[in-house]
Structure formats: C-alpha cells, structure tokens
Amino acid sequence: MKLILATNNNEKSREMQTILSNLGVKVLTARDIGVSLDDIEETGKTFEENARIKAHAVMKKSGFPAIADDSGLIVDALNGEPGIYSARYAGPGASDQKKIEKLLSRLNELNSTNRQAHFVCAICLVYPNGQEIFVTEKCYGKIALSPKGKSGFGYDPIFITESGKTFAELPREEKDKISHRGKALSKLAEVFPNFNKN
C-alpha cells in the first residue's frame, strides 16, 4: 500500500516517514510522484481543517491514500499567535529566522514574563473511499529569550521543552518521541491497523 505525504517540507517529511515507515506501507511524498501542492490553499480556520484540505487535495490528485498535517505554535502572551499562521507569520516565503525574530520582537514589546507556549499538530489521513482518520496532539513548553541549537526547523530553536532544552538542541530521535508531530504520528500508528485494509 502506498501512502502519500502532502508536504513539501523536507524536515516534516523526514519526521513523518521515520514513524510511518514502521507501519508496513510505502511512504512517498507528493513530490516523489509528481504531484504539485502549489495550488492548495489552506483556507481553514483550524489546524484540523487545514490538514483535511491538504490531505483531500493530494488524495484526489494521486488516487492514493494521503496524509497531511497542519501544525503551529501557540504563544499564550500573544493570544495564541502565530497559531495556524505559523508558517506565514512574517509574510509569504519568510525564512525561519525572520519568523523567530518577529515572534521574539512581539514578546519583547509586551515586556511579559509569561513565556508559556505549546505546539499543536493535527493529522488527517484520507482514503479514496472517503474514509478519514484524524489525530491531534500537543507539546507544552515555553519560549526562549534567544535561539539555541542547530537542529530542527521552524520555531525549534526558541521552543524550550520540559527537558530544559530547545527542540533544536535535542537529537532527532529524542525530539521525535516528545514533539507534537511525533506524538500525533504515534497515535495514528495505534489506530492505523484498523483502517489500512480499506
């Protein structure tokens, strides 16, 4: 069975393929099979809605079961920003560094001691017969005063986990176990055997 990942993000692909490959399916990216994601608009108002939009679009284009995640960072002191706009927080095509700079600048403007935050990951797996599986997980932590670590992507260098280290300071295997995406994929792996024969 082939399972198509609806993402162009290489780091997301690696995280998702590492866990999903253990399910006995062939995991491919949309790029692997020549499917473009450029025309898919994330118009949902929640992480779940955006994941569903992407998964359905890739399933229809490829004819294979497709999986998509929508994830983001929610910062308490910023009333939930950047939330579903995490990838576009500093404008279209902005680098991870620019997004981090904007978020830290916004927090500095508030002069708040509240650095609490959490990541959310919503995953949707959809089959050509219309069947869907949804899982959502979170990872709680706080925002660092400045970036630390060289690994990961996105906001990883400023998200301090319960270990006291940022995601970017953790080995990949350790991050995969505790991250929002890692936990969501593990939950998906638990329910997947009940669905993968459809």
Residue 124 CA to residue 136 CA, distance in Å, equals: 9
Q: How far apart are CA 70 and CA 137, in angstroms?
A: 11
Longest dimension (CA), the chain: 53
DSSP string, 71-134: EEEEEGGGTT-BGGGGGGTTSTT--HHHHHHHHHHHHHHHT-S--EEEEEEEEEEE-TTS-EEE
SS3 1: coil
Residues forming the active site: 70
From residue 58, alpha-carbon distances to 54, 157, 175 in Å are 6, 31, 27
